[in-house]
Amino acid sequence: MNVIRCLHITDLKEAVHQIEAVGMDPKGVEWMKGKALHFNLRVEGIDPKAANLLKQEMLSLGGEVALDGRSLDCSLTSTDGLLMGSQQQFEKLIQKLDLYPPMQKLSQTLKQTFQNILKDRFILSCRRKTFELHKKTLLMGILNVTPDSFSDGGLFYEKEKAIAHAMKMVEEGADIIDVGGESTRPGSKPLGLEEELRRILPVIETLVKKTDVPLSIDTYKSEVARRAIEAGAEIINDISGLHFDPELAQVAAKEKTPIVLMHIRGIPETMQKDIHYRSLFSEMIAYLQEAIQRAESAGVSPEQILIDPGIGFGKTLEHNLLIIKHLSEFRVLGKPILLGTSRKSFIGKILDTPPDQRLEGTLSSIAIGVLNGAHIIRAHDVLQAKRAIAVADAIRRAGG
């Protein structure tokens, strides 16, 4: 009796493992591994003439390109295309496109995209610690030094309580502590600079003496970030992706500090009103690409940039679910991915529960996020999240 299996191969290591498992010799493995990985790349805004050439070349290699039918007679100004093929077919396509001057820009974009998608090593270098993000998923514990955060507002507003909670999270296994002095929950209004500094600086100054766990400053203000780094913070976590205060990039560059660039639609006060996207993932990726370019242009090392899709920041329930389900799409940016789903309203809508009763939903979303490519998880419930991550990591690493 023949046993047939449908293999789910998502990376080169798994491709090599499966080809070797049937007894293929090393030369054959090297030749075939690129055929085992299949990709579906959507390219937007292609000139119809270029699209037809693209389709012709991909077909000649055994792949396929889906186009708007009107592109065949060039009766529209531009078209999107869905390119379908193996890694090897795409590599050959890129070589062929390089021979056509009008196609060389697209060729370079495809080449960079593949480098980003296949990148499997990420290093996070803080002042006192260096993390290899490809080896295990990190956990960032949330410390809200605020009276009005959506989940735990007021619980850790006092300095002593904030410090005690941070040390508890360290004991429970947090790899990073994210300190925030301004609530950015839906409907929240901006906080003054001096008040934000008053809340966070004493906490950071004390914690940096008590633990070597890196502290992240959750702010979009360049002056808050600068002062927090002086006090001992080692990472900047910007909800605006450099769109609220572009000078924040200069702070990260000067201090050689890792920076998390998050996607947000609008501002916290209005972000959950009239939510509309023409193309959710396209718009998010374009926003984050612009943020990355701003950071790198300011002198931030490409290796010190992380991205966050911004669950709950200008998204509907369906948007949030799609982002987690298709988190791997953000690999095209070539940056480590931070995911924050902890206690958020989309979980409450599914389970019909208030923030303090969303633990199970949070842990479910964390595990799925890890399996789909998250490198850092941001969470309130550190002990439970750490355990969920450990199991998800073990499943992700199974088989090599």
User: What pLDDT, on the 0 to 100 scale, is given for residue 226?
Assistant: 98
- pLDDT tens-digit map of 222-277: 999 999 999 999 999 999 999 999 999 999 999 999 999 999 999 998 899 989 99
Is the pLDDT at 117 greater than 80, yes or no?
A: yes
* 154 pLDDT above the threshold of 80: no
Checking if the pLDDT of 1 tops 90, the result is no
Q: State residue 187's pLDDT score.
A: 84
- Average of pLDDT values for 114-131? 95
Residue 190 has pLDDT above 60, yes or no: yes
Question: Residue 11: what pLDDT?
Answer: 85
Say if strands 305-308 and 259-262 run parallel, antiparallel, or are unpaired: parallel
User: Taking 80 as the threshold, does the pLDDT of residue 156 lie above it?
Assistant: no
| Domains of the chain, residue spans | 1-36, 40-118, 123-397
**Amino acid in the structure at residue 255:** E
**Angle at CA of residue 184, ends 181 and 187, nearest 5°:** 135
The mean pLDDT of 321-348, rounded to a whole number, is 97
pTM of the predicted model, to two decimals? 0.94
- Residues annotated as catalytic are 344, 378
Report strand pairing: 138-144 vs 376-379: parallel
Closest by alpha carbon to 87, among 122, 111, 105? 111
**How far out from the chain centre does Cα 160 lie?**
33
Q: What percent of the chain has pLDDT over 70?
A: 97
Q: Is the pLDDT assigned to residue 152 strictly greater than 60?
A: no
Q: Per-residue pLDDT tens for 78-112? A: 999 999 999 999 999 999 999 999 999 999 999 99
Question: Residue 102 is encoded by which pair of tokens?
Answer: 């009008």
Q: Which one-letter amino acid corresponds to residue 305?
A: I
The CATH number of 40-118, from 3.30.1370, 1.10.287, 1.10.20, 3.90.1280, is 3.30.1370
**Rounded distance, CA 47 to CA 45, Å?**
7
The string of pLDDT tens digits covering residues 277-332 is: 999 999 999 999 999 999 999 999 999 999 999 999 999 999 999 999 999 999 99
pLDDT in tens, 4-46: 988 888 888 888 989 999 999 999 999 899 899 899 999 999 9
pLDDT level of residue 186 (50, 70, 90 thresholds): confident
Residue 76: per-residue pLDDT: 87
Range 123-397 classified under CATH 3.40.50.740: no
- Over the stretch 40-56, which tens digit does the pLDDT of each residue have? 999 999 999 999 999 99
